[in-house]
């Protein structure tokens, strides 16, 4: 009986050594969660428990790395061994390891090839190219300089004659094939606090003889520099249609007039056919790829996002690999929620979550476990010698 007890004890001590060794060897493994050992009266192994406390966030600036700060797991689907696509038969996996990359089919996967799942439950595939898109909307910030001289009415506006207008600015727009053209907007101060607006497009052939451009609108400001005509909308903006940009609807945000300052910046949508460059995660789970064409980067509005998943009992999760778990009846079902929402953490792009192993404590525990293992080994050696001696006496 004594030998049986000591054998159980040394088995328990060996299991503890193995667990501590695993913790220490994974102190630098991203998203690793340390385990603690438990037994019953130092004799029979009862099981281990994992600590899901937060690991430190380490910034690495890798665009497809993302760290969870707070509660939650990423959801993954393992790859089918035959098709290489997300498995429809294997259980979903959950992880804190946010090191992702694009596979040969542009799916976001982890190091084991499991697929990151979006908020709709589908594997995330980033298109390798962005198709061309025609410009349709533009936003303009505008301030006109009240100190500019009035252009005499006798001087007919001519875009080729800089003495017939006060200021101009240009922006690029795209057609349905992704071809670009330059829209130039001209501002002519025709009276005090009054500005006529004209526009032209570089793709429009110049008539011979030249045809005078049609005025797009007239902006009239009061003495305080606030726009009075056209009447601004409730938010202070005005719509603007430019003859030089057919099919594009502009919004001018709170146009003003003040002295010694001219400012006109314009942002227009649309793009040429572009190639994938990089991808970033938003703190709210949004995923936004960036594309480039001829050195011009385009980042479309986010169309994909991910949820985080929590469990009633994390220690009820079943470990399926070093850094992934699957749900069980004890853990309770996975509960989805958007990052930053109540009860869920946020995401930090270009960063990873370090292992939560306390190396100093693990080393101290390892020394204690080694002493316990050695002591149990000595007990068994002593008992074995006693049994041999008893056997000799019986002969």
3-state SS assignment for residue 3 = helix
Listed by start position, the domains of the chain span 2-51+357-393, 57-130+276-353, 137-268
Name the CATH code of domain 137-268 (choices 2.60.40.1180, 2.60.98.20, 2.140.10.10, 3.40.50.720): 2.60.98.20
Output the DSSP codes for 149-209: PPPPTTS---TT-GGG-SEEEEEEEE-TTS-EEEEEEEEEEEETTEEEEEEEETTSPPPSS
Alpha-carbon gap, residue 328 to 94, rounded angstroms: 12
Q: Going residue by residue through the chain (395 aa), what tens digit of pLDDT does each one get?
A: 444 445 555 566 555 556 556 666 666 566 577 665 554 444 333 456 788 888 989 999 999 999 999 999 999 999 999 999 999 899 999 999 999 999 999 999 999 999 999 999 999 999 999 999 999 999 999 999 999 999 999 999 999 999 999 999 999 999 999 999 999 999 999 999 999 999 999 998 776 666 778 999 999 999 999 999 999 999 999 999 999 999 999 999 999 999 989 999 999 999 999 999 999 999 999 999 999 998 888 888 888 999 999 999 999 999 888 789 999 999 999 999 999 999 999 999 999 998 766 566 655 555 555 555 555 555 555 555 555 555 555 55
- CB 282, CB 299: distance < 8 Å: no
**Token match 């690793």: residue?**
32
- Residue 312 per-residue DSSP state: S
């Amino acid at each position: 009986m004594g030998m049986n007890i000591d054998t159980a004890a040394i088995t328990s001590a060996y299991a503890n050594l193995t667990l501590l060794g695993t913790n220490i060897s994974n102190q630098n493994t991203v998203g690793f969660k340390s385990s603690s050992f438990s037994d019953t009266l130092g004799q029979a192994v009862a099981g281990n428990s994992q600590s899901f406390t937060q690991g430190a966030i380490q910034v690495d600036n890798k665009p497809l790395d993302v760290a969870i700060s707070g509660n939650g797991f990423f959801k993954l689907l393992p790859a089918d061994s035959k098709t290489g696509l997300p498995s429809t038969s294997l259980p979903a996996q959950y992880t804190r390891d946010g090191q992702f990359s694009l596979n040969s089919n542009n799916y976001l996967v982890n190091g084991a090839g499991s697929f990151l799942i979006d908020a709709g439950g589908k594997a995330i595939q980033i298109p390798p190219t962005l198709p061309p898109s025609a410009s349709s909307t533009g936003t303009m910030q505008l301030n006109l300089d009240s100190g500019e001289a009035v252009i005499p009415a006798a001087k007919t506006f001519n875009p080729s004659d800089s003495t017939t207008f006060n200021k101009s600015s240009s922006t690029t727009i795209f057609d349905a094939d992704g071809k670009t053209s330059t829209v130039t907007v001209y501002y002519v101060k025709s009276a005090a606090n009054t500005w006529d607006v004209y526009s032209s497009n570089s793709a429009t052939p110049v008539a011979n003889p030249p045809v005078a451009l049609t005025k797009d609108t007239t902006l009239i400001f009061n003495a305080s520099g606030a726009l009075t005509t056209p009447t601004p909308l409730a938010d202070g903006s005005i719509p603007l249609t430019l003859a030089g940009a057919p099919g594009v609807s502009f919004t001018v945000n709170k146009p003003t007039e003040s002295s010694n300052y001219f400012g006109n910046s314009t942002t227009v949508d649309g793009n040429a056919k572009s190639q994938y460059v990089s991808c970033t995660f938003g703190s709210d789970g949004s995923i936004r790829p960036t594309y480039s064409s001829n050195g011009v980067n385009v980042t479309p509005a986010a169309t994909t996002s991910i949820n985080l998943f929590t469990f009633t009992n994390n220690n009820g999760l079943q470990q399926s690999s070093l850094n992934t778990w699957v749900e069980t009846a004890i853990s309770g079902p996975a509960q989805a929620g958007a990052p930053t929402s109540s009860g869920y953490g946020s995401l930090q792009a270009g960063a990873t979550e370090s292992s939560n192993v306390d190396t100093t404590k693990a080393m101290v525990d390892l020394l204690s476990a080694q002493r316990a293992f050695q002591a149990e080994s000595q007990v068994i050696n002593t008992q074995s010698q006693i049994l041999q001696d008893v056997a000799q006496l019986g002969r």
